[in-house]
């Protein structure tokens, strides 16, 4: 019997889940057959997109749970522990459950490799995806909300047979794998659409939406467009938003997740839940109780320390808008660190205008971009570098109680922030 640290060490030994990703469904399809197709044991909402996937998944899961269903949720990446990637009833599975699922999937994979039924051990992401589906079946999950890892068409999660496909806003990210144009990226995301499933599309840029609509039509799907729904009494604060969806049903939404972009994410989630037959009262009750760490999350007060895992231009634009909207007149400290595989060309122009002080740093990862490499992108009179997040936080020691300190640039950095500030 392996221990939880043993299981995690083996998963990490498979390599970084982005760098060693294997796009394609052949291996995961064979593995599912070897496990007797656990992915067919529950109903599925499949969610793809560039930004807002995680929070939209969390809100859909919350609404289903509020309606009385036993729910599963898969997410990636995790903030602190790999167990976060597999959740049942919104709680990460225990270390013991994680180990049991790992041993079942790992053992099956080894036997299949020996028998010539697999071309190699599944990747990190394929292994954890299989573990999630196996655990969901074993623990009687009725509805699983499944977040894609990267793209959609060739993502390991795309072996599911969803009842509903949800696509959140499509923008630039992971261009090396998904394509250099919005249309190419949208085509990859649209790969989750399947005949017979419903679809909800978030409000997004027209060039992406045109591709999604074309692919939906080819699959015989009439999607719901969240951007066309009438919202009334819209009110946003630094802590969240509230509004009423007027049609296709009247649904009161109060979302405790910060940022104007959560209006769109929560409306998309509410419409997804409505399309599944979840009563309006359960939708309201579910969304109002949702929490999603690492996204504009206030982890300390006086001064406010806010963690946000914005890791691509669209996410950074949303962060900059949030700061402009709610922190005018306050001294804003901005700690930023990102990964080498991210598009950073426009980040300096987006963040420099909203920061009083800028500190460039790096997460504790071989993928992290050195802060010195970021320096030329930031034209700012008060920009400094710090080798690690702990050093960056030390530089904010002079912050006054009324100041705000934002930590952003990657979910790896966000996870480190929680560890340091807990």
What pairing do the DSSP bridges indicate for beta strands 91-92 and 86-88?
antiparallel
Q: Which H or E run contains 325? A: helix 313-326
pLDDT digits (tens, 9 = 90+) for 281-291: 999 999 999 99
List, in sequence order, the alpha helices (H) in 232-312.
261-275, 280-288
CB count in 10 Å sphere of residue 5: 10
CB count in 10 Å sphere of residue 54: 23
Per-residue confidence (pLDDT) for residue 175, from 0 to 100: 56
Distance, CA of 358 to CA of 267 (rounded, Å): 34
pLDDT digits (tens, 9 = 90+) for 156-195: 999 999 999 999 999 886 555 676 699 999 999 999 999 9
Distance, CA of 371 to CA of 368 (rounded, Å): 9
Closest CA to 85 of 40, 132, 22: 132
Distance, CA of 395 to CA of 378 (rounded, Å): 18
pLDDT digits (tens, 9 = 90+) for 314-331: 899 999 999 999 999 999
| Cis before 50 (ω within 30) | no
Residues 159-192: b if buried by 16+ CB within 10 A, e if exposed: bbebbbbbbbbbbbbbeeebbeebeebbbbbbbb
261 neighbors 51 (Cβ within 8 angstroms): yes
The residues, ordered by sequence, that sit 6+ positions from 151 with a Cβ below 8 Å of its Cβ are: 23, 48, 174, 177, 178, 185, 188, 189, 191
Q: Does domain 4-288 have CATH number 3.90.79.10?
A: no
Could you state, in order of their start, the residue ranges of all structural domains in the chain? 4-288, 297-421
Q: How confident is the model at residue 93 (pLDDT cuts 50, 70, 90)?
A: very high
Per-residue confidence (pLDDT) for residue 22, from 0 to 100: 64
Distance, CA of 260 to CA of 258 (rounded, Å): 7
355: phi then psi, degrees, rounded to nearest 5: -110, 135
The residues, ordered by sequence, that sit 6+ positions from 108 with a Cβ below 8 Å of its Cβ are: 31, 34, 35
Instruction: Give the pair of three-digit tokens for residue 31.
Output: 């593995």
The residues, ordered by sequence, that sit 6+ positions from 311 with a Cβ below 8 Å of its Cβ are: 173, 338, 339, 342, 409, 410, 411
Closest CA to 338 of 329, 330, 347: 347
How would CATH label the architecture of 297-421? Alpha-Beta Complex (3.90)
pLDDT digits (tens, 9 = 90+) for 335-391: 999 988 767 878 989 999 999 999 999 999 988 999 999 999 999 999 999 999 999
pLDDT digits (tens, 9 = 90+) for 258-279: 999 999 999 999 999 999 999 9
pTM for this one?
Answer: 0.94
Give CA separation, 167 vs 17, 42, 338, in Å: 22, 20, 25
Write down the mean pLDDT value for the chain: 94
Q: How confident is the model at residue 312 (pLDDT cuts 50, 70, 90)?
A: confident
29 neighbors 150 (Cβ within 8 angstroms): no
Distance, CA of 371 to CA of 369 (rounded, Å): 6
């Amino acid at each position: 019997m392996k221990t939880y640290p043993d299981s995690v060490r083996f998963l990490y030994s498979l390599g970084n889940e982005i760098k060693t990703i294997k796009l394609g469904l052949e291996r995961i399809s064979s593995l599912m057959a070897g496990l007797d197709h656990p992915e067919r044991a529950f109903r599925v909402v499949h969610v793809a997109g560039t930004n807002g996937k995680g929070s939209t998944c969390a809100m859909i899961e919350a609404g289903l749970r509020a309606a009385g269903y036993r729910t599963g949720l898969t997410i990636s990446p995790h903030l602190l522990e790999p167990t976060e990637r597999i959740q049942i009833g919104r709680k990460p599975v225990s270390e013991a459950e994680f180990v049991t699922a790992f041993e079942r999937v790992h053992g099956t994979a080894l036997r299949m490799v020996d028998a010539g039924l697999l071309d190699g051990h599944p990747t990190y992401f394929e292994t954890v995806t299989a573990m999630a589906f196996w655990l969901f079946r074993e623990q009687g999950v009725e509805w699983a909300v499944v977040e894609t890892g990267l793209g959609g068409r060739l993502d390991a999660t795309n072996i599911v047979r969803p009842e509903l496909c949800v696509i959140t806003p499509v923008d630039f990210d992971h261009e090396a794998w998904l394509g250099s144009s919005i249309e190419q990226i949208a085509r990859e995301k649209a790969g989750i659409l399947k005949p017979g499933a419903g679809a909800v599309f978030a409000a997004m840029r027209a060039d992406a939406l045109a591709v999604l609509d074309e692919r939906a039509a080819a699959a015989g799907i009439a999607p719901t467009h969240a951007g066309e729904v009438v919202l009334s009494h819209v009110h946003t604060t630094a802590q969240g938003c509230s509004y009423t969806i007027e049609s296709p049903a009247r649904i009161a939404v109060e979302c405790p997740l910060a940022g104007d972009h959560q209006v769109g994410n929560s409306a998309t989630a509410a419409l997804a839940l409505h399309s599944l037959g979840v009563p309006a009262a359960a939708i309201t009750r579910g969304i109002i109780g949702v929490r999603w760490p690492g996204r504009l999350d206030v982890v300390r007060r006086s001064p406010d320390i806010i963690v946000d895992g914005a890791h691509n231009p669209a996410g950074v634009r949303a962060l900059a808008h949030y700061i402009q909207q709610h922190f005018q007149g306050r001294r804003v400290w901005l700690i930023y660190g990102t990964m080498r595989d991210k598009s950073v060309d426009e980040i300096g122009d987006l963040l420099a205008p909203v920061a009083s002080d800028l500190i460039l740093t790096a997460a504790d990862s071989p993928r992290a971009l050195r802060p010195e490499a970021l320096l030329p992108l930031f034209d700012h009179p008060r920009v400094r570098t710090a080798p690690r997040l702990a050093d960056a936080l030390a530089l904010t020691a002079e912050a006054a109680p009324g100041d705000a300190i934002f930590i952003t640039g990657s979910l790896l950095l966000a996870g480190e922030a929680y560890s340091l500030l807990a």
